[in-house]
Amino acid sequence: MWSRLAPYLRRQRGRFILATLCGVGFTAAGLAEPWTLKLILDNVVLSRPLSGAFAPLGAMVDGNRLALLNVLVVAILLIAAARGSLYYFQQLLTARVGQQVTTQMRAELYGHLQRLSFTFHDRRRTGDLLARLTSDIRLLRDIFVSLPIAITSELFLVVGMTAVMFVIDAQLTLLALAVVPALAVSLRLYQKPMRKAIRRQREREGDIASIASEVLGAIKVVQGFHREQHEVDRFNLQNRRSLRTGLKAARLEAKLRWYAEVTVAVVTALVLGIAARRVLAGALSPGDLIVFVSYLRTFNRPLRRVSRMAERSARGVTAGERVLELLAVEPEVRDAKDAIVAPQFLGQVRFDDVHFQHRKHRPVLMDVRLTIEPGERVGLVGPTGVGKSTLVSLIPRFYDPTSGRVLIDGRDVRDYTLPSLRSQISLVFQEPVLFATTVAENIAYGCPDATEQDIVAAAQRAGIDPVISALPDGYATVLGERGGTLSGGQRQCVAIARAIIKDAPIVILDEPLVGLDGRSSDLVLRALTELMHGRTVIIISHRLVNLQTVDRIVHLDDGQVVDQGSHADLVARDRRYCTLMRAAGAEAAS
């Protein structure tokens, strides 16, 4: 995991090193603090002469205790100022590095998710992906940035204090160090089950996010069918499961902290008892005892923090595994190494012995052979679930066929780069997809260089210009989420305007009139007529009104082309087609 994440930190290594040095400096200044108290007690209060490393200080004050006290007070103030400044810069730099790394990782993960194929997104829940994109990356920042800086500072603190404590009293120091192997054993025992519990909790939180995202996105359906309480109950079920897994992780963390506190307290009590006896026996000075006790308390602080660090580490490692799991997924549909930029298409589309099957599912398409000539309008009909949408999804390579080929103008679509292929295909989906941005930006979504005149012209051709002009800010009106500001028919017309402005030679329409009333259908039909002019058009529909303008109807059933021809031809010879049209007519009438 570390080798995969290291490049993010390398880009910030200057600030990271500086933050670490500030942390080490903060720790070093802290090591000096007890010595000022020792000198005040031993050499000011008890009037002992300065000796050893402090002899030059004694010569400087010439044995004057008041002068020595003034020097030590100034030293205390300078140490406090240095520690405060170093701590400030350490926190500032750590936050800067953490935010930069988080931003870079989130951007890469989001870009990676954009490139992953439909097959991946079909299998994944949006809420879980959002959890990995937000909270998991935030947790990963702790272990990857904050924790290493903290550990480096704490390690320097422990090593420095241990060295000084050995100089003061080696035996007491060895006794104090007995806590280290005891905590190491507890970490070894608790870390694996803690990581397992935390991973399970993160998965549960992903489930919660998925349910919330799904239900809030379909709130009209929920309220329309009066299923609010059902959805609350479903959410609460996952919420309780998350609570149980969270409590399990918390119990393990609490046990580890309890063990650390008790172990540290027992060892500290033993060391203090023995040290006090040595002072009474004259083996240690009172000042040495202050230094030793101060170091012991400070020494135990990072040891106590080990349990918290272990918990943060477990959460960070779990989050890192979840993020890297996504980054390791390779797009199933991607450019070939020798892919070329597609030329301007004439618009012939050919399916050559195409088979398609989702992994571990029954085949969706079998032996599909179909040619659509440039400028031809073809309608695809068939019962629900026979593979109509899947078939047209092979043209822009949302999926690749399991076997066989899809060709445009006689060349396999896999020979072209994805951007150059998809730039020449316009799509209008059954459910119009609009974004919470301006109307103009929605229309120009597939053509970001479009001028204001281009946008207005496309809206006029789609018949939606009067509606847009009547909005409070016209084309600058910001739509609600998923275009909720507009009606269903109006949203579909904006989607058609988006396809018109793209001016692609191939147009795919997937049930563009589903769910629309008669007035909205008429509005959309007029817009579709404008869109289809002079292009190769494939329209999926089970309503005859949508197929009146097509040149040919292709009937799919059970993943195969069972017949094709005009409406009259199919009515004359295809009983299943007649049954399908009667069912569609009855549905439309109802």
Backbone angles phi, psi at 436, to 5 degrees: -80, 65
Residue type for 438, please? Answer: T
pLDDT band at 427 (very low <50, low <70, confident <90, very high): confident
Q: Average of pLDDT values for 387-413?
A: 91
- Give dist(CA 305, CA 403) in Å, integer: 58
Residues in Cβ contact with 19 at an 8 Å cutoff, skipping those fewer than 6 apart? 89, 90, 93, 94, 97, 149
- For 209-264, the pLDDT digits (tens) are 778 777 776 665 666 556 778 788 888 888 888 888 888 877 887 787 787 778 77
507 vs 590, higher pLDDT: 507
Q: What 3-state DSSP class applies to 111?
A: helix
Is the confidence at residue 590, as pLDDT, over 60?
no
pLDDT for position 306: 61
- Give dist(CA 35, CA 79) in Å, integer: 11
- The torsion angle over the Cα atoms of residues 280, 282, 283 and 284, rounded to 10 degrees, is 70
Q: Average of pLDDT values for 295-316?
A: 67
Nearest CA-CA partner of 538 in 322, 361, 371? 371
> What is the dihedral sign for C-alpha 58, 60, 64, 65?
negative
Q: Average of pLDDT values for 464-471?
A: 88
- For 86-113, the pLDDT digits (tens) are 989 988 988 888 888 888 888 888 888 8
Domain ranges of the chain: 2-327, 349-589
- For 353-364, the pLDDT digits (tens) are 999 988 767 888
525 vs 327, higher pLDDT: 327
Q: Average of pLDDT values for 420-441?
A: 85
Pairing verdict, β 377-381 and 349-356: unpaired
Percent of the chain with pLDDT over 70: 89
pLDDT for position 587: 45
Q: SS3 sequence, 193-236?
A: HHHHHHHHHHHHHHHHHHHHHHHHHCHHHHHHCCCHHHHHHHHH
pLDDT band at 308 (very low <50, low <70, confident <90, very high): low
Q: Average of pLDDT values for 406-415?
A: 93
- Where is average pLDDT lowest: 465-469, 476-480, 519-523? 519-523
- Helix or strand run (H / E) with residue 49: none
User: CATH code for 349-589?
Assistant: 3.40.50.300
β-bridge mates for residue 222, sequence order: none
pLDDT for position 324: 84
- Give dist(CA 322, CA 140) in Å, integer: 10
Rounded to the nearest angstrom, the gap between the alpha carbon of residue 376 and the centroid of all alpha carbons in its chain is 43
- Give dist(CA 181, CA 364) in Å, integer: 61
- Give dist(CA 210, CA 512) in Å, integer: 28
pTM: 0.70
Q: Out of 230-239, 380-389, 390-399, give the one with best mean pLDDT.
A: 390-399
The DSSP call for residue 283 is S
Is the confidence at residue 193, as pLDDT, over 70?
yes
- Where is average pLDDT lowest: 18-22, 182-186, 193-197? 182-186
- What fold, for 2-327? ABC transporter transmembrane region fold (1.20.1560)
